[in-house]
Structure formats: structure tokens, C-alpha cells
A and B are shown apart, each in its own frame.
Chain A
Amino acid sequence: KNEVEQSPQNLTAQEGEFITINCSYSVGISALHWLQQHPGGGIVSLFMLSSGKKKHGRLIATINIQEKHSSLHITASHPRDSAVYICAVISRYGNKLVFGAGTILRVKS
């Protein structure tokens, strides 16, 4: 069983739509990252959170530690948001990131 599961695997949205990407994990964690990967391959950190909610522009990330679940929301989606969004967790007992498989998001204009 994968330690980090993301859903959906693929998501196509119309410009302006509200988008939610989900992440569930099975291990105890100290923190969770949401990352963005563009077609060129580079990885950009969007959020790191260990409780509650964080907001940056049109992006909102929430985490429920008891339920071992996090969500990434994008409000007023735009074609430039098209990318792979990856959830990764830091295990409570180590320092490495364990990655989910990613969600491929395509926003159409």
C-alpha cells in the first residue's frame, strides 16, 4: 500500500472553476508539503503545513491530522495553473519526503 495517495490522478477543468485535489497518508507525519511540477520538470514548493489551513493568493491548503488527510484548493483556476500537483509528507521519524504520485491538472480556457 502506498504511504501517500492522491486523488484524482487526472483533472481537467474549465477556466474559472474551483479545484480540489486530495491527499491521504497512512503514516505519522511531522509535516506535509504541496508541490507543483511544470512540464520542464522543476519542482516548486507551494505550502508546508502541519495543522490547520494556509492561503497564498488563489491557493488554499488544509490538513486534518486526525483523519490523515489534506486538500489543495485552487480558486478561479487559470490555464497557467496547469501542472502536476504533488503531495509529499515528512515522516515523524525521519527527515525525508515521501511523495504521492501527483495529480495532473489541465485548465482549459
Chain B
Amino acid sequence: EPEVTQTPSHQVTQMGQEVILRCVPISNHLYFYWYRQILGQKVEFLVSFYNNEISEKSEIFDDQFSVERPDGSNFTLKIRSTKLEDSAMYFCASSEEMNTEAFFGQGTRLTVV
């Protein structure tokens, strides 16, 4: 069964460093998303991406964040200068079309020290 895959599963980084979280969405899906979940809190939307551009972003998604689809399969989230409060589980998701079922990856646990 097709699935969304994320790498790495866990990343530890020093405050101020740049990190890139990687996702491979399901191959025929057109819409891609990043969500995050701070420990003990609910899942929050970060950004959605369609047709090689951002279609919607949240207030959380400020200038330190960027997304890219560098080739036909990968979808990445870059955090330029990590802060302690960026520590969270980051989920990638994809859907075939707008407002269809979203499929989630297993998440990347980011720990900023």
C-alpha cells in the first residue's frame, strides 16, 4: 500500500543550526502539507503546497521556514535557524486532490538543544 515516508525519524540539532526535514509523498498525490505537534499539544497546520508553490500558510510559518519540492518525489521543510521552541514532531501529509483524504507520514521528532 502506498505510504508517505519521512526522514529522519529523529533529529537532534543545536539551537541556531539549519535543519531539513524530508518527505516522500504518495506518488500520484498533488497536494502536500506540513504539520507540527509540540509535545502535549494538538497538531497544528504549518503550510500547504500545490503546483510548486505555497497555497496556504499559518502564522507559525514565518521567514525561518521554507518548503521545496526539489525533484519529482521529495518535499522538504527547512528551518533556517532553529530555536528551542521549534522542538516538536513534524508530520508531512499528502492528498490526491483538494479536500480529499490526507495520508500522513510517521513524523520526524525534532529536538533543539
A96 pairs with B106, CB closer than 8 A: no
Q: How far is the CB of B30 from chain A (nearest CB, A)?
A: 11
Interface residues of B (CB under 8 A from A): 31, 33, 35, 37, 42-45, 48, 50, 55-56, 58, 89, 91, 93, 98-107, 109
B interface majority secondary structure: strand
Using a Cβ–Cβ cut-off of 8 Å, how many residues does chain A contribute to the interface with B?
23
A99 pairs with B48, CB closer than 8 A: no
A48, closest chain B residue (CB): B101
**Nearest 5 interchain pairs by C-beta:** A43-B104, A42-B106, A96-B45, A48-B101, A99-B43
A76 CB within 8 Å of chain B: no
Instruction: Choose among B42, B45, B48, B55 the residue with the greatest number of A CB atoms under 10 Å from its CB.
Output: B42
Q: Given A96-B48, A101-B42, is A90 in contact with B99 using a C-beta cutoff of 8 Å? A: yes
Bound CA span A100–B102, Å: 16
Can you name 16 extra interface pairs (CB under 8 A) apart from A31-B99, A95-B56? A33-B101, A41-B37, A41-B107, A41-B109, A43-B104, A43-B107, A45-B101, A45-B103, A45-B104, A48-B101, A96-B48, A96-B56, A96-B58, A97-B93, A98-B45, A99-B35
Interface residues of A (CB under 8 A from B): 30-31, 33, 35, 40-45, 48, 86, 88, 90, 94-102
